[in-house]
A and B are shown apart, each in its own frame.
Chain A
Amino acid sequence: MKLQVKLALYNTLTKVAIILFTGLLILLSIEKISYNHIEVRLEEKKEATLRSLSSREINSFLAAQKVYTDYNILKEEFITITPVKYEANTPSKVTFSTETRKVERNMETYRILSNRFNFNEHTYLLEIGETIESVEELKSIIKKFTLLVLFIALVLTLISDLVFTKFLLAPFYKIIDRKLIKVNDPMNFDYEKIQTTTQDFELLDDSISSLMKKISNLFILEKQFIANVSHELLTPISIISSRLENILLHEELSEGSENKMHASLKTLNRLKSIINSLLLISKVENNQFDKGDMVMIAGVIKEIHEELEDRIDEKHLTFTNHLKYIYSIQGNRPLMHTLLFNIINNSIKYNTTKGSITISDDLNDDIYAITIADTGIGMEQKQIDNAFNRFEKFDTDEKESYGLGLAIVKSITAFHNINIKINSVKNKGTAVKLIFDNQV
């Protein structure tokens, strides 16, 4: 859940709780206060009733040991005096209760005062009631009002919180977007500060910037290191190979020595190839290549086919080009050439004599994909998993394999945001699929 939503929900919940609490409080206190008022009035009425006990009207009832009942027209209040069993020492205790009574066919809820008292050697129960309908009504109005306020407050706070937190968090998302998501190269990092008055975000912004500074310093260091290493290694190789070539110029050399010189030159060349390949991978990974060319895939394939024609013929392979689309990507042409060259070269290298290589493409939802399939020796799943690792090589008759071809392929595909998939069946063949999604 987004922080914005979480904050809004939290705010809403607390507000609901506060309103509910105050509503309940008001409700309870109103009940208490009005009951209090009623009770005070009932108390006064009791006093008045007890004073008028000797009045003729009531007295006649009492003398006859009958129940005396009196109520007003709207039955808002009533008085009953009921004779009960005589007890000499009746404590004059006043109790209050809320009960529903039936007064002349009408059920009403009353607050009732009950009091036992002795009069003329008899004990009577005095009950005075006052309807609390008005209180109940007030309570229900307050309930409704509270609910309404609750609902409005809920909606208002939810909306206002969402809007406000959105406003508040805008710099945060800006930082995430500009400083983290859109950064794929620490060298081109945007150090400009995001405008915000929130200190926490400023801190975040500064921290990311300083982290990036450290990373890009490391990047620069690595680039320098690679450039230096390449220089330091390639120069001695250069000297040795020149020296060997010069020695070969001397005609008095025996055939055996000459062969050894040439073998050494070959080994040196191998060393040079490995260094150059590692350098290439590092340069690609350090984004030291320009991506400004429009590269037409079909054109590159055609070129590579021409270059490799002799090898294809030599192995009696059938090369089928099924490309249907003229598709161009923005990238680095020499790198794209190397990428496709390495893949096609592998499909020749690991093919069987009289096998075939098929190149096909398709366009789905504007996503272009090209597949290079061969009928070669194939790979097991474990081999596929390791195929892109450096210095990983498979049993091959070819001597000059350094296990760097697919590592180069991987770095170039990553550089161009190309998705690469390998499908392979042992002894059946391999299909390498390049999917050109995420093209920037």
Chain B
Amino acid sequence: MNVLIVEDEKGLALEVDEFLSHEGFTVEHARTKKSAEEKIFVNNYDFILLDLGLPDGDGFDLLKMLKGLEKRDDAVIILTARGAVDDRVMGLEQGADDYLAKPFSLSELLARMHAITRRKHRLESNDINIKGLRVNIQNRTVMYNDERINLTKKEFEIFNYLVLNKNRVISRTNLTEHVWGDVLEINSDSNFVDVHVKNLRKKLSQYIPIDWFETVRSIGYRINI
């Protein structure tokens, strides 16, 4: 899948590029509105990661232009440090698929991209298989041999996020932010997550052994498969 990063901050673009390339994406990079326009005209992208504050104009204009083009299905994720509620609402109203406020974590970005992919392509198998557990993102369920494991909303969110970022250590902070949102709750204490994970583990272990669900001491968790 190919990704266009529209971001004037070279450092950030390079990091996102490195991360996504590592994940198997083909990445292109545009630093100005003008060069982004040219690239969008010429190529179809699976994802456009769009910064709103560009040196030669507003990212919203690019979004409008893209939506004006026919037969385009590029998913747009707005990445901005402006963080104003208005921007968020306006971005989504104008057809962006998601919105991430800077600073965001790369694993969060990846999780969002996966979610969009599944939504867009309506994959035949919406399920991710983890050691016999079937995670269905659409229905937000986890099944084991046709038996539904009864998870709370938050437990599912945590499990889903770890599954999407499997084989990577996900820190408590990162998990907290994913589950609780990053905007307003500054008192998000990390041991929130521990309680949920403890319950989640208890529920899963009733079905299968979960030695792959690792606790990385003092950091966070990893699903290691």
Q: Which residues of A contact B (CB under 8 A)?
A: 227, 230-231, 234-239, 241-243, 245-246, 248-249, 258-259, 262, 265-266, 268-269, 272-274, 276-277, 279-280, 283, 288-290, 310-311, 313-314, 334, 337-338, 341-342, 345-346, 349, 398-402, 404-405, 408
Contacts and interface: CB of A to CB of B under 8 A. Distances in A.
B214 interface: no
A418 B22 CA distance: 51
A248 B103 contact: no
B16 A242 contact: yes
Interface string B101-125: 1111111000000000000000000
B83 A234 contact: yes
A235 B186 contact: no
Given A265-B171, A311-B195, A235 B184 contact: no
12 contacts: A234-B81, A238-B12, A246-B18, A246-B19, A249-B168, A272-B103, A283-B84, A290-B85, A337-B184, A338-B184, A338-B185, A342-B187
Contact of B85 (A243, A269, A289, A349): A289
Nearest to B109: A242
A245 B12 contact: no
A239 B82 CA distance: 15
Contacts of B105: 241, 245, 265
**7 nearest A-B residue pairs (beta carbon):** A242-B15, A238-B103, A234-B81, A239-B11, A338-B184, A238-B102, A262-B219
A341 B185 contact: yes
A92 B85 CA distance: 113
Interface of B: 9, 11-12, 15-16, 18-19, 22, 53, 81-85, 101-107, 154, 168-169, 171, 173-174, 177, 182-192, 195-196, 199, 218-220
A197 to B, nearest CB: 44
Contacts of A235: 9, 12, 81, 102-103
A230 B106 contact: no
A248 B169 contact: yes
Contacts of B101: 234
Given A241-B105, A262-B220, 4 more contacts: A243-B11, A245-B15, A259-B219, A265-B174
A174 B86 CA distance: 35
A265 B106 CA distance: 12
A404 B186 contact: yes
A290 B182 CA distance: 20
Contacts of A346: 187
A56 B188 CA distance: 135
Contacts of A279: 83
Contacts, number: 127
B3 to A, nearest CB: 14
A288 B199 CA distance: 40
Contacts of B169: 248, 258, 262
A366 B183 CA distance: 34
Contact of B106 (A234, A246, A337): A246
A276 B180 CA distance: 15
Given A234-B83, A237-B103, A310 B15 contact: no
A237 B105 CA distance: 11
Contact of B173 (A248, A269, A402, A404): A269
A408 B183 CA distance: 13
A338 B103 CA distance: 21
A266 B195 CA distance: 19
Given A310-B195, A337-B184, A227 B82 contact: yes
Nearest to B108: A245
B186 A408 contact: yes
Contacts of B185: 338, 341, 345
Nearest to B217: A259
A313 B198 CA distance: 13
B160 to A, nearest CB: 18
A104 B137 CA distance: 132
Nearest to B219: A262
B187 A349 contact: yes
A143 to B, nearest CB: 80
A341 B182 CA distance: 14
Contacts of B187: 341-342, 345-346, 349, 400-401, 405
A338 B186 CA distance: 9
A288 to B, nearest CB: 7
A239 B15 contact: yes
B103 A402 contact: no
A394 to B, nearest CB: 13
A215 B104 CA distance: 35
Contact of B184 (A258, A266, A334): A334
Nearest to B193: A310
Contact of A288 (B53, B84, B189): B84
> Which of A258, A400, A402 has most B Cβ within 10 Å?
A400
A273 B186 contact: yes
A438 to B, nearest CB: 24
Contacts of B199: 310
B9 A249 contact: no
B19 A245 contact: yes
Contact of A230 (B16, B81, B154): B81
Nearest to A234: B81
Contacts of A408: 186
A238 B85 CA distance: 19
A233 B171 CA distance: 23
Contacts of B19: 242, 245-246, 249
A246 B19 CA distance: 6
A282 B209 CA distance: 50
A376 B168 CA distance: 39
Contact of B12 (A242, A268, A337): A242
Contacts of B11: 236, 239, 243
